[in-house]
Amino acid sequence: MSLIPINVTTMAETILERLQAYEDDHALLRQFVIPEEDRHLFTSAKWAGEYRWFRSPNVVCIEKARLVRSRQAQEASAA
């Protein structure tokens, strides 16, 4: 059984680049939407699936992670 070498550093850089591109694309939305950490201060409404973002840099929204992964898979299958 032969193993395919994977450059983990390159893969991590690619994911970070994709996350940064997502952040750049959504910069305008973040100016109008309250960060999830502060949402409880302004409303008691439950999250209903609309756009959300987190101010904390160590938190990645699951929707964002899924989007990045699906785009990565699409590009891998196209190649």
Residue 50: which domain range? Answer: 8-78
Contact 60, 40 (CB under 8 A): no
**Any domain includes 64:** yes
Q: Count how many domains the chain has.
A: 1
**Any domain includes 14:** yes
Tell me what pLDDT residue 39 has: 92
Statement: residue 61 has pLDDT above 90: no
How far, CA to CA in Å, does 6 sit from each of 10, 11, 39, 54?
9, 8, 41, 31
10-53 confidence digits (pLDDT tens): 565 677 788 888 888 889 988 999 999 999 999 998 888 888 88
**Any domain includes 3:** no
